[in-house]
């Protein structure tokens, strides 16, 4: 049985793009496998500094995954900050991580490039949390012996860095201390368009929230940008932002019907937007009720995460003890 590990960063209110690109595929992969899911709250510190917002987002993201089908009886579900062994391992791995390797991390390089284009110093506004992010992610993965790590395409390099660091430690002590993890590329969230046609992202403020009230969801769906082709004319469903989302929630029969209507002409965007809004509301109706119950009972979430943390710390302690013995620290 493979061990799968997935981290969830609480940096924004859960939205449709998160569900289609991360939540749904990750839960599917975990079926029948040994799986660990964690709230990556320390990773979120690179972006969120307001304590009240931090607590709120952590609560929302945890409740969203539970509401969407994560069963804490079937997986180990914990909060990153509740596992002190992660941060001890982080320092150890930092001593094996070549700076040149981290210099080549895509996220760091893109920020440097942006600074250069703006005429600023290379490292302007870049904190060490951003630079060392791949090492902390390596600790998250290696501590629990994960065989497979579901990630988006933009995170694939981070898993590869974890492999490189793990290989360095294994070689140094001539022992297979760490499993070399494999990235499992999830559905590209860049293919999930927001209301402006760009990737659905909180950074663009173009999201459709998963659990907003009905009025807000309908409003956001009606704001999806479309072209100006007259209603009577044929349209290409393949480039329509509304249809891109519609096909994830409609039945195969309805999708086929709509495709024909696009090709024939006579389809108004307002009509399919209204149908999409109703499909989204119906799809998440039961989930919304569960989500609200968790949001209104944060102590229940705390109990779930603490129970998961106990299980996670047991695994972490064993891994770290073996490593420290090999290093001469025990």
Chain center to CA of 261:
35
The total of other beta-carbon atoms located within 10 Å of residue 71's CB is: 10
Could you read off the pLDDT of 161-216 as tens digits, one per residue? 999 999 999 999 999 999 999 999 876 655 899 999 999 998 899 999 999 999 99
Only one residue has tokens 């979120």, namely 44
pLDDT value of position 186: 72
What does pTM read for this prediction?
0.92
Could you read off the pLDDT of 117-164 as tens digits, one per residue? 999 999 999 999 999 999 999 999 999 999 999 988 888 999 999 999
pLDDT value of position 1: 81
- In the predicted model, is pLDDT for residue 45 greater than 90? yes
What is 266-315 written as a DSSP string?
---HHHHHHHHHHHHHHHTHHHHHHHHHHHT-HHHHHHHHHHHHHHHHHH
- In the predicted model, is pLDDT for residue 277 greater than 60? yes
pLDDT value of position 153: 82
Q: 142 with 93: CB under 8 angstroms?
A: yes
Rounded to whole angstroms, the Cα distance separating 64 from 210 reads 8
Could you read off the pLDDT of 78-124 as tens digits, one per residue? 999 999 999 999 999 999 999 999 999 999 999 999 999 999 999 99
pLDDT value of position 6: 95
pLDDT value of position 191: 80
Closest CA to 193 of 150, 120, 246, 249: 246
Q: Which of 38-42, 151-155, 248-252, 278-282 has the lowest mean pLDDT?
A: 151-155
Mean pLDDT to the nearest integer, 71-83: 97
Mean pLDDT of the chain, nearest integer: 95
């Amino acid at each position: 049985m493979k061990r799968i590990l997935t981290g969830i960063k609480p940096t924004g209110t859960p939205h449709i793009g998160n569900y289609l690109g991360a939540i749904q595929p990750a839960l599917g992969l975990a079926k029948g496998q040994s799986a660990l899911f964690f709230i990556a709250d320390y990773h979120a510190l690179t972006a969120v500094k307001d304590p009240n917002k931090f607590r709120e987002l952590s609560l929302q993201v945890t409740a969203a995954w539970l509401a969407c089908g994560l069963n804490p009886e079937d997986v180990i579900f914990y909060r990153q900050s509740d596992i002190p062994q992660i941060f001890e391992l982080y320092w150890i791995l930092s001593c094996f991580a070549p700076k040149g390797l981290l210099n080549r991390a895509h996220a760091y390089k893109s920020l440097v490039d942006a600074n250069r284009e703006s005429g600023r110093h290379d490292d302007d506004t870049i904190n060490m949390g951003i630079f060392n992010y791949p090492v902390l992610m390596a600790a998250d993965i290696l501590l629990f012996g994960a065989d497979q790590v579901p990630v988006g395409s933009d995170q694939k390099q981070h898993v590869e860095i974890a492999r490189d660091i793990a290989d360095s430690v294994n070689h140094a002590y001539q022992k297979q201390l760490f499993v070399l993890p494999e990235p499992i590329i999830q559905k590209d969230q860049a293919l999930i368009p927001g209301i402006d046609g760009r990737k659905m992202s909180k950074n663009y403020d173009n999201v459709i929230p998963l659990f907003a009230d009905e009025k807000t969801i309908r409003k956001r769906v009606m704001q999806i940008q479309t072209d100006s082709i007259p209603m009577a004319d044929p349209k290409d469903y393949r480039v329509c932002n509304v249809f891109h989302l519609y096909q994830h929630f409609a039945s195969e029969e309805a999708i086929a019907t709509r495709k024909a209507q696009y090709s024939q002409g006579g389809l108004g965007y307002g009509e399919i937007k209204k149908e999409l809004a109703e499909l989204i509301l119906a799809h998440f109706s039961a989930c919304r009720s569960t989500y609200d119950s968790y949001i209104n009972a944060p102590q229940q979430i705390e109990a779930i995460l603490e129970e998961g943390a106990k299980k996670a710390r047991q695994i972490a302690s064993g891994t770290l003890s073996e490593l420290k013995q090999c290093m001469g620290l025990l």
